[in-house]
Amino acid sequence: MTDSLSQLLSAPLQPLRPDWRSPAQAELLRKARALHADSPDAYWAWAAQQQRWRRPWDTVRTGTIEDFTFFAGGELNVADNCVDRWAEDPATAGRPAIIWEGEPGDVRTVSYAELADEVSRLAGALAALGVGRGDVVAIYMPNAVEAFTAVHACNRIGAIYTILFSGFGPDAVLSRLRASRAKLVLVLDASYRRGKLTPLLDTLRTARGQLSTVEHTIVIDRTGRGVPLEDGEISYADALNLAPDGVPAAALEANDPAFLIFTSGTEARPKGVVHSAAGFMIGAWANVRWQVAPEDGDIYWVAADVGWLTFPIQAVVGGLANGMTIVCFEGAMDTPSTARFYEICEKHHVSKVLGAPTLLRMLRKYGDDLAARHALPDLRLVTVQGEPLDGETFGWATQHLGCGVPVVNAYGQTETGSTWAYPVAGVEPLKPGSAGTAVPGHEYAILDDNGQPVPPGTKGNLVLCQPFPTLARTVWDDPERYHQAYFTRFPGYYCSNDEAVLDGDGHLWVLGRADDVINVAAHRISTLEIEAIATAHPQVAEAAVVGVADPTKGTVPVAFLTLLDGADPGQVKQEVSAGVVSQLGGYARLGAVYLTAALPKTRTGKIMRRLLRDVVEHGAPQGDTSAMEDVAGLEAAQQAVGATPASTTPGSGT
């Protein structure tokens, strides 16, 4: 273990301030951990008992982590649990379920009663258009109220939904519609992003012309332009009138497929991960319960894109299953000004926020003065996930946001269907950069390459040991691909393909993808170790490190840095380079330090390190760029390296 990593792991735990603690949450967690200690299945049975069932289950679980069921024989409906149960209760029927704000500033608030009515009528419209149980419906839009209604309309009748990232271009949309065999698509005519219109309907029409499976398209007139519709298209308003009385919620078997989500990557075939109805909802309910600690009166802003699984987990399913009020924002956090995040929090009295670590780095980059001008007295918690959180950004956020707020850093994957490692909100101490401990219902191990457990302080391969309800069930149309990807390297375990280490306090540190571990002259270095040194520099806003080919050492690390305003570029490069050598050793010496105005990211804020590696080694991307939000980040990186910017359009790719 390097000195730098040792310093990270040895950082002291930070007890919660008294005003951050929740005695009720602590008591609930005590009960949950006691159930888990008896058996994880006992805990999951308790979690399932918090939901409404049409028919009780016969068995809590059957099978092993490679092939299992949860709550077999039980029947429920996800829309009934997330929407109807709150709409039917006079105490919550008028509670806002969604507070939506468009980038131009338009706002729409939807109560649980109103949401239930619209979901039921849209479900009836889907049925009237020939969509039945097991049919696939594609949802191609950014954050919109209709994303909520579309998901739960599908849940209501047992259709399988798949959400397509609104930044996808025609090729990416086509490949996913073809792979899913979608029968119907819901789409906005266009959406606003950084002051520009994204022509979603035009993109869909280009893709749809090459398909035979899509029978109908429901078009939401987001812009109010009244775009003329073509054959096979119907307006959202007219669709709702197809079933003015709505339809009842169908009873679905717990293990029926609920949705599929396509993971990004370089493979030629899109990989559609399938999640189940009851398992995903119960796990999402628990995920929000422990990560956010819902309280009466909470206004919860899930500052993520609906195309990132985090949004369905935390907002559309998990948030609503907890009866929360969800803030949903259409546009970019820096449009029309860098104060937009603060303004939304103030306008809607946001009490809790979820985002990617990049959101906090962006706010830090915009400066202490901007934060100081927006006191955010209602804000009580910030939670992040999606990639490692550096300690400097953690410290900045806890000190400068609101009146000082706890920052809950969480870890999970698309395949796990939820985050499962983090300090439980309102109860457990924090540690800058760590992912806390496993929450109830989850068990993990860290193994060496031979499959043997490693002691605390030793890096290894992160695996999950026991099945849990939100774990993906298969890959759409390709179960063997699922088995090969996750269960062959370490039989009997789910392989996360992430590298991790356990510290002396029992906190988990996820160091990054095992594929991103840099091997320099027989030394293994995680990207997190070097990035932590870089971001510790007071003038560095953000850092990304990748390994690139070197004829002598095999691989060398290179760093991309974005700087805070007023930074001295030459001094920063020199001091970061020297810091890496002094803390890690000469073998970790950076092959280059590139200063860039921006980094290529997904719309959810994840840095696309693969593209940075491609830029250094090839001058341009070599694989899929369909998840990239804006070509400007890629072009900035190319300019920093000295490569000629390629004509890459976000949304291209397979």
Residue 247 tokens read as 């339809």
Q: Which of 6-10, 248-252, 650-654 has the lowest mean pLDDT?
A: 650-654
Residues 527-539, mean pLDDT to the nearest whole number: 87
CA gap 501, 9 in Å, rounded: 9
Cα–Cα distances in Å, from 334 out to 94, 339, 342, 653?
Answer: 32, 7, 10, 27
Per-residue pLDDT at 623: 75
Cβ 90 vs Cβ 134: under 8 Å:
no
Taking all residues of the chain, what is their mean pLDDT, rounded to a whole number? Answer: 93
**pLDDT for res 647:** 46
- pLDDT tens for 465-483 read 999 999 999 999 999 999 9
- % of the chain with per-residue pLDDT over 90: 80
Q: Which of 145-159, 442-456, 529-543 has the lowest mean pLDDT?
A: 529-543
Give kind and range of the element (H or E) at residue 585. none
- The pLDDT of residue 312: 97
**Cα–Cα distance for residue pair 598/129, rounded to 1 Å:** 45
Look at residue 268 in the predicted model and tell me its pLDDT.
54
Q: pLDDT band for position 653 (50/70/90)?
A: very low
Q: How far apart are CA 382 and CA 311, in angstroms?
A: 15
Distance CA 192, CA 140 (A): 14
Number of H helices, E strands in the chain: 22, 32
Residue type, 604: T
What is the spatial distance between Cα 431 and Cα 422, in angstroms, rounded to a whole number?
A: 10
Q: Which fold has domain 515-641?
A: GMP Synthetase; Chain A, domain 3 (3.30.300)
Which of 175-184, 468-477, 507-516 has the least mean pLDDT?
Answer: 507-516
Whole-prediction pTM: 0.89
At 401-410, the pLDDT tens digits run 999 999 999 9
Helix (H) or strand (E) holding 627: none
Measure the CA–CA gap between 94 and 111, rounded to whole angstroms: 5
Instruction: Compute how many other C-beta atoms are within 10 angstroms of the C-beta atom of residue 23.
Output: 9
